[in-house]
Each structure stands twice: as structure tokens, then as C-alpha cells.
């Protein structure tokens, strides 16, 4: 393929699918795997009559930090969380993953979980009745780990009394007398307020932060993404400016340090180069995508501006105010 020959459509589609399906690790993957392994061990301990009361895990980080993708990856990778056949030969999944409803109160949450299990619900059912059915069905279906994503929704538009009710409900889920249900909640930093306001819930939980990446501390992970996506995934060379020690920091600023967003930026820049028949990916692809995604003025483009360290993606449209 020459430098001006566009890539074949079917080949391009296959490359995009493969690259987007790839998973990239950082040091926090070891922590997450450790926390999940402790949960699995605690299930066994509970079945033997000596489990810990800490049966909830909060995974907290900014949007685009990679929380959901990390959990999905480890659920699939760890045997304790994979679907298996029970004693009756039925395939059961120990994990149930849902997105928190909007708005999210306890009744809406119960209905969402029951619906995810394929069970009919009736709006006129009382909250108490809904949760009685819910807990029984989680046990009946062998669900040992309940994952609720975007859990910060419970903090929005709710009164202090409603939030307190949510906190009591979450505690009740990990205190089911006859079943070792463990819960995992993922969401943005707003979710931390749920723990700050209830010491009892905090005492039954563990917390894993998905902090923003920064340079130079995390430059190795950023450089690794560039090489794996461009070289291994797309067959592209990296131009000289991308190999410069400053570029990872530019990428960090452009993505607000969000690991998932950073990966997406690298992928889209490489796809842009491929569709134009390039043999290498350059900062131009990043700059053009950044302008398209943020609507920034040329002077405010993190990948081309001289004073790029002073810029923030969230202020890209400030000149329109």
C-alpha cells in the first residue's frame, strides 16, 4: 500500500474491531484484581460461616477513566466471576451488571435489577415487596456479585431522606441472611458522598480510586498505548514528535488524564491515518480530531498551541460565552 492509497473498507473495519476490543493494563489492574479476588475468597469464607462484613466495593473515578471496561475485563478473566453450570446442569452467571436508572431511587433501582433478570414487575408493588422478590431471585439464580454502574445517579435530584433510604437499602443487600451477595458500585467522584454520609455503609465497603494519569509519573503507560495501538494494532509507525518525551504530557492534558479517553484518542488518530492511506501517525491526526471533538479554536488546540499546558478541554468553547 502506498502512502496515498486508502485502506480497503473490509480490512479497515476488521482492524478497528480488533483494536477497540484490545485491553490495556496499568498498575491499578493489579489492585482491582486483588480486590475482586478478596471478594471471591469472602464468598467462600461466608459459605463456611466466617465471612467478613465488608461485602461492597466502590470503584470511583472521573468519566472516561476506564472503570467499567476494567471491571468487565476482570469479570471475564477471573474464573470465580465467569458463567458456569450448576448442579442441575444449568448455566448460571455469578455476576449481574446493570446501569443505575435515571432518576435513581430505591424503587426504580429494584425494578431495574429485576428487569435485567427478565422478571416482570408492577409499578403498584410496594418497595418492600419488590426487594423481597429481588433478594429471593438473586439467591435463586446464583447471583453472588451485583455490579451497578453510574451509581452516582442516586445522588442527583434526591432529598437527604431519599439518599438515606438508598444507603439503608445498599446495606440490606449485603446483609441477606441466607446468601453471600457482594455488591460493586462504579461511578464518578460524586459517588463518594454516599459513603461520607453513612459510616455503617463505609465500614462494610472497600474503595478503589481510578485517579487521573499524569506525567512524567505515568508516561510509560501512555507511551505503551501509543506503541501498542499504532505499531501492533494498526501497523503504523510513530512519527518523531510522538516519540518525544513531551507528547505523552500533551495527550494527558487533552484527555484530562482519563485513561479510557486517552486510549480512544490514540485509536481514533490511528484510524484517521489509516483511512487516508498513511504509513505513520503524526500529531496532525491528534490535532484534527481534538478540534473536531471539542470545537476549540486553533489557538486553543492542546496538540499545536505553544502554551498548551495552560489549556483545559473543558474550556474549549469559552470564547462563545
Q: What is the mean pLDDT of residues 76-91?
A: 89
Q: What is the dihedral of CA 24, 28, 31, 32, to 10 degrees?
A: -60
**Which residue, 203, 202, 215, is CA-closest to 253?**
215
Give the integer Cα–Cα distance in Å for 104 and 85: 33
Cis peptide, bond prior to residue 217, ω within 30 of zero: no
* Residue 146: per-residue pLDDT: 97
pLDDT of 211-245, one tens digit each?
A: 999 999 999 999 999 999 999 999 999 999 999 99
Instruction: Evaluate whether 64 touches 77 at the Cβ level (below 8 Å).
Output: no
* Residue 2: per-residue pLDDT: 45
% of the chain exceeding 70 in pLDDT? 98
Chain centroid to Cα 270, Å, comes to 23
* Residue 9: per-residue pLDDT: 92
Q: First vs last Cα of the chain: how many Å apart?
A: 46
Radius of gyration of the chain (CA): 23
Q: What is the mean pLDDT of residues 261-267?
A: 97
Average pLDDT, the chain: 92
60 - beta bridge partners? 187, 209
Give the integer Cα–Cα distance in Å for 138 and 98: 13
Q: What is the mean pLDDT of residues 75-84?
A: 94
Q: Does domain 27-210 have CATH number 3.20.20.140?
A: no
Q: What is the mean pLDDT of residues 1-30?
A: 86
**Which residue, 161, 206, 244, is CA-closest to 56?**
206
* Residue 280: per-residue pLDDT: 96
Give the integer Cα–Cα distance in Å for 308 and 287: 12
Give the integer Cα–Cα distance in Å for 276 and 144: 48
Instruction: Evaluate whether 57 touches 64 at the Cβ level (below 8 Å).
Output: no
Other residues' Cβ atoms within 10 Å of the Cβ of residue 17: 9
Helices vs. strands in the chain: H and E counts, helices first: 14, 9
Residue 10 has pLDDT above 50, yes or no: yes
Give the integer Cα–Cα distance in Å for 15 and 294: 26
Compute the half-sphere exposure of residue 291: CA atoms within 13 Å on the CB side of its CA: 14
Which residue did the predictor score with more confidence, 104 or 41? 41
The size of the chain, in residues, is 321
pLDDT of 138-183, one tens digit each?
A: 999 999 999 999 999 988 867 888 888 889 999 999 998 889 999 9
Give the integer Cα–Cα distance in Å for 105 and 137: 20
Which residue did the predictor score with more confidence, 158 or 295? 295
Residue 5 has pLDDT above 80, yes or no: no
pLDDT of 129-145, one tens digit each?
A: 999 999 999 999 999 99
Residue 4 has pLDDT above 70, yes or no: no
85 contact partners, CB below 8 Å, separation of at least 6? 91, 92
Instruction: Evaluate whether 269 touches 281 at the Cβ level (below 8 Å).
Output: yes
pLDDT of 47-61, one tens digit each?
A: 998 899 999 999 999
* Residue 238: per-residue pLDDT: 97
Give the integer Cα–Cα distance in Å for 303 and 13: 27
Task: State pTM to two decimals.
Answer: 0.90
Please provide the DSSP assignment of 106-153 as one string.
Answer: HHHHHHHHHHHTT----TTS-HHHHHHHHHHHHHHTT--EEEEESGGG
* Residue 1: per-residue pLDDT: 42
* Residue 296: per-residue pLDDT: 93
Amino acid at each position: 500500500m502506498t502512502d496515498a492509497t486508502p485502506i480497503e473498507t473490509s480490512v479497515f473495519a476488521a482492524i478497528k474491531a480488533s483494536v477497540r476490543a484490545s485491553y490495556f493494563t496499568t498498575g491499578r489492574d493489579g489492585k482491582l484484581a486483588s480486590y475482586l479476588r478478596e471478594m471471591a475468597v469472602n464468598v467462600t469464607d461466608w459459605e463456611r460461616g466466617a465471612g467478613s462484613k465488608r461485602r461492597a466495593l466502590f470503584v470511583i473515578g472521573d468519566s472516561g477513566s476506564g472503570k467499567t471496561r476494567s471491571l468487565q475485563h476482570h469479570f471475564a478473566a477471573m474464573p470465580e466471576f465467569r458463567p458456569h453450570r450448576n448442579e442441575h446442569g444449568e448455566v448460571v452467571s455469578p455476576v449481574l451488571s446493570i446501569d443505575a436508572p435515571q432518576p435513581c431511587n430505591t424503587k426504580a433501582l429494584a425494578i431495574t435489577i429485576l428487569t435485567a433478570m427478565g422478571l416482570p414487575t408492577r409499578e403498584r408493588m410496594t418497595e418492600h415487596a419488590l426487594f423481597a422478590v429481588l433478594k429471593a431471585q438473586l439467591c435463586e439464580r446464583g447471583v453472588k456479585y451485583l455490579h451497578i454502574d453510574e451509581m452516582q445517579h442516586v445522588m442527583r435530584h434526591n432529598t437527604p431522606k431519599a439518599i438515606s433510604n438508598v444507603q439503608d437499602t445498599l446495606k440490606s443487600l449485603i446483609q441477606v441472611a441466607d446468601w453471600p451477595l457482594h455488591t460493586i458500585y462504579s461511578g464518578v467522584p460524586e459517588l463518594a458522598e454516599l459513603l461520607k454520609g453513612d459510616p455503617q455503609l463505609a465500614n462494610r465497603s472497600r474503595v478503589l480510586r481510578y485517579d487521573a494519569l499524569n506525567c512524567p509519573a505515568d508516561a510509560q503507560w501512555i507511551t505503551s498505548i501509543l506503541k501498542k495501538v499504532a505499531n501492533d494494532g494498526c501497523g503504523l509507525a510513530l512519527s518523531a514528535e510522538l516519540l518525544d518525551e513531551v507528547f505523552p504530557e500533551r495527550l494527558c492534558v487533552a484527555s484530562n488524564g482519563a485513561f479510557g479517553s486517552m486510549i480512544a484518542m490514540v485509536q481514533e488518530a490511528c484510524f484517521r491515518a489509516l483511512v487516508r492511506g498513511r504509513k505513520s501517525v503524526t500529531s496532525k491526526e491528534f490535532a484534527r480530531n481534538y478540534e473536531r471533538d471539542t470545537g476549540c479554536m486553533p489557538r486553543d488546540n492542546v496538540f499545536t498551541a505553544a502554551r498548551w499546558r495552560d489549556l483545559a478541554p473543558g474550556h474549549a468553547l469559552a470564547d462563545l460565552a
